[in-house]
Amino acid sequence: MSVVSLLHSKASIPEELQKNEACLPLYYEHLNTPPKVSVCGLDFFYGEHQALLDNDIDIAPNKVTAIIGPSGCGKSTHLRVYNRIFELYKDQKAKGKVLLDGENIFSSKINILELRRKVGMIFQKPTPFPMSVFENVAYGLKLHYAISKSEISIKVEEALRRAALWDEVKDMLSKPGMALSGGQQQRLCVARAIAVEPEVLLMDEPTSAIDPVATLKIEELIDSLKQKFTIVIVTHNMQQAARISDFTAFFYKGKIVEFDKTKKIFTNPAQKKTEEYITGRFG
């Protein structure tokens, strides 16, 4: 049994969820909705090297969940399971379950392209594609929707507005995405990801490669995005986790040491290791 499962009493789990297969979804006592993503007994291997050990975590819908921990503890690895992007590499293997809305993403019924539409990802370095600002945002729309040119324009504007980038780029939509500043590029990637109307947004240290002002903008953006999306963010910066997240998971050496409401983690952590980390004694 992991720490997480001990934290939450099973009594509060709705009956329909309790019936769910072998793995009992873990649940937050104060939430009345089932978790958006539920990870059960997740192990991860890079060849022989095991990078994740028995991860259990529930991701609450329309909340920001932060993943913190010292570098090399498996934060990125954990995140990269949610959209099965690790499968691009033949030597990487995941064992265990990841349920998205109660359905195992490793099940053969899952269409991987549809899964990746539902679970968008933002990387540490901005990754604009070699095309114009407009085409960058339209990229996923064209992949997943059969819509007309005018509808695409509307959706592109909508996504850019939601990513708080519209006003800055509306006069340069035909310029290459790579011509934007680093912070703008990162918001462009956010716009590109949310244009396809995903349900979950994974962000792997999205602000570690951009300047403080741009970071602030991204943080404000994350706050506004959680109305519509479920957000999981890996961050190296504990202040950032404290500022923007509702829940925080502390990872150490591939294990989830503690997972709780952010406030609790930063004021009164249950584990000694967590306390040592947040007070800066290692990491």
Instruction: Tell me phi and psi for residue 73, to 5 degrees.
Output: -85, -5
- Minimum distance from CB of 37 to Mg ion (Å)? 19
Distances (CA, A) of 201 to 5, 58, 223, 266: 24, 15, 12, 24
Residue tagged 């990269």 (tokens): 80
Question: Which amino acid is present at 194?
Answer: I
- The 8 Å CB, 24+ separation contacts for 144-152 are 144/113, 144/117, 144/196, 145/196
Contacted by 116, from Mg ion, other proteins, ligand ADP, none: CB < 5 to 8 Å by type: other proteins
- Residue placing its CB nearer to ligand ADP in the complex, 29 or 89: 89
Q: Indicate whether 176 belongs to the interface with other proteins (CB under 8 A).
A: yes
Instruction: Tell me phi and psi for residue 141, to 5 degrees.
Output: -60, -45
Q: Indicate whether 196 belongs to the interface with other proteins (CB under 8 A).
A: yes
**In this structure, are residues 79 and 235 in contact, taking their beta carbons and an 8 Å threshold?**
no
- Minimum distance from CB of 65 to Mg ion (Å)? 16
Q: Indicate whether 145 belongs to the interface with other proteins (CB under 8 A).
A: no
- Residue placing its CB nearer to other proteins in the complex, 106 or 129: 129
**In this structure, are residues 199 and 102 in contact, taking their beta carbons and an 8 Å threshold?**
no
Residue numbers at the binding site for ligand ADP (CB under 6 A) = 46, 49, 51, 69, 71-77
Stretch that binds other proteins, among 16-24, 37-45, 106-114, 242-250 (CB under 8 A): 106-114
CB atoms within 10 A of CB 213: 8
Taking residues 56 to 95 in sequence order and writing x for each that binds Mg ion by CB under 5 A, - otherwise, the string is --------------------x-------------------
Q: Indicate whether 50 belongs to the interface with other proteins (CB under 8 A).
A: no
CB atoms within 10 A of CB 46: 14
- Residue placing its CB nearer to ligand ADP in the complex, 69 or 177: 69
| Separation of alpha carbons 135 and 57, rounded Å | 36
**In this structure, are residues 178 and 96 in contact, taking their beta carbons and an 8 Å threshold?**
no
- Residue placing its CB nearer to other proteins in the complex, 2 or 185: 185
Contacted by 45, from ligand ADP, Mg ion, other proteins, none: CB < 5 to 8 Å by type: none
**In this structure, are residues 268 and 254 in contact, taking their beta carbons and an 8 Å threshold?**
no
- Residue placing its CB nearer to Mg ion in the complex, 76 or 274: 76
- Residue placing its CB nearer to Mg ion in the complex, 227 or 282: 282
- Which spans of this chain sit near other proteins (rule: CB under 8 A)? 83, 85, 88, 112-117, 120-121, 123-125, 127-132, 139-140, 143-144, 174, 176-179, 189, 192-193, 196
